Structures are given as structure tokens and as C-alpha cells.
Structure 1
Amino acid sequence: MKTLAIDTSNQPLTVAVVDGDRVLATTTITTQRKHAAYAMEIVERLVKLAKLTPADLERVVIANGPGSYTGLRVAVTIGKVLATTLGIELVTVSSLQTLALNVTAEQHLVVPLFDARNEILFTAVYRTSPTGPKLVVPEQHVALADWLQQLQQFTEPLTLVGSDVPKFVAQFQEHLNVPVRTVAGINNLPQASQLAMFGEQQPPVADVDQVVPNYLRMTQAEAEWQHKHPGEGSTGYVEQV
């Protein structure tokens, strides 16, 4: 299956074209966050380098969050447009699960994380398996202190993964009573080639039009609306827009 995968959810921008278990072309950029300016250009270039045309693609896989508001919208928009215009399947995969794919040892507990600023993380716990990471603790937008308390339940080693891990690893090691491991170098970056091959095994979305980014937190507009309308929840906000 000829598959295009895109992850623009955080600082790295990673794109790949694969055919089954063969990587045809891939690029990962970590030096800028102007994903809206570069992502589509990179997609077009990689498809061409893979000696394919857009019409050859059979599936597009996107990392749909959590992460940067703007970054998430880039991959989601490109994925939906391509799926609709080319008439191909669209698969969405968690951005945290995408990171967890980089830990291949079986039966390991993996803690992928992104820095959400102000000592807050996007994170979860996965267990590795032959068919991909399985969710153990749900994905959260959570204060670091609260997350460390949740992780006290585990008696097995934990493997942290993500380019933001160096900011927090010392606190994990200090507050947890189990070995805290890290991964090396490039394995802390999302890999679109891994995302593509994993996405080939996942069911496509039933309705492309209903796909939205998984922000895992309220947008600024929602937060401001709820501040002005205490006790009204999010339903009223949706009706007001």
C-alpha cells in the first residue's frame, strides 16, 4: 500500500512515503516551526522523489494531536484535503502514540511526552506490543507534579521518549521509585516512516469531514468564552460560534 504520512504536531516536521514495509522517501526537519509554509512543499517533493504521482497514493496517515494548535491544523488540513480530492483513505494516529512507536522492545512501559509549558505536559503511558503501543494510562494535558503522582502506581521501569525529555528527566528520576530510562538521539523525534507503516494496519476514519485535531485542552477562544460564561460548559460555546 502506497501511503503518505505527516506529523506536524510539534517542533519536528516529519513526512514519509512508504509502500508496505519499504520506505520510499522521508524527511524530518527540527529547525523551524513554520509548518504551514513548508509542509505541502515537502509532501509534493517526497511524492516525486518516490517516483509516484498523487494519484498513486492509496492512504494518508496523520498525527492528529495533541500538540501545537497551529501545527496540528496543518497535518489535519493536508490529510483531509488529500483524502477528499484523491478519494483515498485517511487514518489518524495520536501524536503521543507516534512517539511511542520509537520504542520497539516488547512489553516495555513507555511515557511519551511533549512540553506544554508552565510545568504542564501532554503525556500518557503505553505498553509496547508486536502490533504497536497499547494505551495503559489515558492521554492527558496534566501538571508535571500530578503526573508524577499518577506514575507512582507502577512497579516496572518506565521509558521516557520525546525531544522534551531532557527538561524533565531529573524530576522523574527523583520522584519515582522505579528505573527511569530514556532513548537516544533520533528516537526522540517522531518518525513519519514509522507512522506510515503503523497507519497501514489501522482502520481508516469513516467520515473524513468529521476529523478534527485532538487538542486535548481547550483552545484560547474556548477558555475565554467559558471564563465569561461560568457554569455553562462547552455546549454553549459551540452554539455561539
Structure 2
Amino acid sequence: MKILTVDTSSNCSSVALSDGASLLGEYLLGEDRLNSGRLFASIAKLLESARLAPTDLDAFAVAIGPGSFTGVRVGIATVKGLALAAAKPAVGFSSLAMLALNSPYCGFPVAPLFDARKKEVYAGLYRVTDLPEPLREDAVLAPESFLATIDEPTLFLGEGAVRYRDLITATLGDRARFAPFHADVPRAAAGAVIACDLARQGRFTPLELLNPTYIRPSEAEIAKQKRDASNSIS
């Protein structure tokens, strides 16, 4: 099953092309990850190198968050457009589950963390074997609140783990484990593993329902809530 997977949910975005259990190619994008020209160029190069057209693919896949509000929207819009043009199905998956899959079979629960700004993290907790199994729902909260729920040795990874490493170590002591730095970067190739499993089960997402999972409201939504509250008082 040939799948093109896109992740633009964090500071380091990527695109991957897979065929069943084979990775045909992957591009990691830097700070200008949201440059649509570069994103589409990377996709075009992957397809060209595999001598495939979008219509040759079986499905498209995308990380739906949580993560960068703008980034998640760009990734989903890209996949929706490609899937619609090629008349192919699409699947969405958690960006935290994708990150957790960087450390399969580690022997500990895996806690992927993204920096959510505002002194918060997007946090998940997974048992990871061939696939990530959620032990609790992905959430956005203060790192101190998340760490208060950890009562056993746990592997931390991701940009949030890097930013709050001192806090994690001070709070958990020898219960804190940290993945090597290469595992802190989300990989579309890991997302492709999740996408392939979903596609084989026929668990495709209708394009009209392929939407971001922000977990918390955006700044625009917060501003609207404040305006509505002010108007209701007046």
C-alpha cells in the first residue's frame, strides 16, 4: 500500500513516501517548513524518485495535531488538496503518537512532549511496541501538572522534553529517562507506520472530517470568546 505522509505540526516538519513496510524516501524540512513551495517541491521529488504520480498512491496521511496551529492547518490543507485531486482516501493520526513511535520497545512508558508555549506542553503517554498505544488522552497542560501524574520510570522525548529537561529531572529524579537527541524530532516515516495500519483496517477519514486536533482553543477563538462574553455583559 503506497502512502504519502505529511507532518507539519512542529518546528521540524517532514514528508515521507512508503510502500507497505518499505520506506521509499523522506524529507526533513527546517525553519521554512511552512513554505508551501518547498513542501510541494519535497513531495514532487519523492514521487519523482519513486516514479510515481499522485494517482498511483493508495492513500494520503497527515498528522492532525496537537502542535503548531498554523503548521497543522498547512499539513491538513495540503493532504486534503492532494487527496481530492487524486481521488484517493486520507487518514489522520496524532502527532504525539507519531513522536512516541521514535522509541519502540524501550521498556518504559513513552511521554512525547511538544512545547505549547504559555508555559504549557502538549503531552501524551504511550506504551510503544510495533505501534503506539495511548495510556491516556493527549492533553495540553503545565509541565508540572503532567509530571505530577508520572509514578514510574518514563522515557521523555520531543522539543518539550528538551526545554523542560531540568524540571523533569528535578521532579522525577531517576524515574526520568531521556531519548537520544535524534528521537526528539518527529518523523513522517513514523507517521507512515501508523497510517499504514489505519489504511489496512479501512479506517480512512472523510475529507470533510479531516480537521485539526488543537486540544486548546486558538488565539482567535479565545479573542472571540472574550468578545462574546463582553457583549453578553453589556
TM-score under structure 2 length normalisation = 0.90
The CA distance in 2 between the partners of 1:196 and 1:81, in whole Å, is 19
1:188 equivalent in structure 2: 184
The CA distance in 2 between the partners of 1:54 and 1:201, in whole Å, is 20
2:85 equivalent in structure 1: 85
- In structure 2, give the amino acid aligned to 1:150: T
Question: Is the CA contact 1:35–1:71 (under 8 Å) kept in the aligned structure 2?
Answer: no
Once the two structures are superposed, the pairs formed by residues 13-24 of structure 1 within 5 Å of their partners are 13-24=13-24
Once the two structures are superposed, the pairs formed by residues 195-206 of structure 1 within 5 Å of their partners are 195-202=191-198, 203-206=202-205
Q: Which of 136, 156, 159 matches 2:155?
A: 159
The structural deviation recorded for 1:177 is 5.3
2:104 equivalent in structure 1: 104
Query: Number of paired residues?
Result: 228
Q: Which of 161, 164, 169 matches 1:173?
A: 169
- In structure 1, give the amino acid aligned to 2:82: L
The CA distance in 2 between the partners of 1:10 and 1:51, in whole Å, is 29
Consecutive aligned runs of 4 or more in structure 1 exceeding 4 Å deviation: none
The CA distance in 2 between the partners of 1:13 and 1:220, in whole Å, is 22
TM-score under structure 1 length normalisation = 0.88
Question: Is the CA contact 2:154–2:175 (under 8 Å) kept in the aligned structure 1?
Answer: yes
Structure 1: 5+ residue stretches without partners: 233-241
The CA distance in 2 between the partners of 1:42 and 1:33, in whole Å, is 10
State the superposition RMSD in angstroms.
1.9
- In structure 2, give the amino acid aligned to 1:215: Y
The CA distance in 2 between the partners of 1:51 and 1:188, in whole Å, is 31
Go from structure 1 to structure 2 and tell me whether the alpha carbon gap of 1:148 and 1:231 turns closer, same or farther (over 3 Å shift).
farther
Q: Secondary structure at the match of 1:124?
A: strand
The structural deviation recorded for 1:228 is 2.2
Identity %: 28
The CA distance in 2 between the partners of 1:38 and 1:120, in whole Å, is 30
2:229 equivalent in structure 1: 230
Question: Is the CA contact 1:9–1:68 (under 8 Å) kept in the aligned structure 2?
Answer: yes
The structural deviation recorded for 1:163 is 3.0
The CA distance in 1 between the partners of 2:72 and 2:165, in whole Å, is 26
Once the two structures are superposed, the pairs formed by residues 1-241 of structure 1 within 5 Å of their partners are 1-105=1-105, 107-130=107-130, 132-151=131-150, 154=151, 156-176=152-172, 179-202=175-198, 203-230=202-229
The CA distance in 1 between the partners of 2:86 and 2:49, in whole Å, is 19
Question: Is the CA contact 2:6–2:75 (under 8 Å) kept in the aligned structure 1?
Answer: yes
The structural deviation recorded for 1:110 is 0.6
Question: Is the CA contact 2:59–2:88 (under 8 Å) kept in the aligned structure 1?
Answer: yes
The CA distance in 2 between the partners of 1:174 and 1:20, in whole Å, is 43
Structure 2: 5+ residue stretches without partners: none
The CA distance in 2 between the partners of 1:175 and 1:29, in whole Å, is 34
The structural deviation recorded for 1:219 is 1.3
Q: Secondary structure at the match of 1:230?
A: helix
The structural deviation recorded for 1:150 is 2.4
The CA distance in 1 between the partners of 2:226 and 2:128, in whole Å, is 40
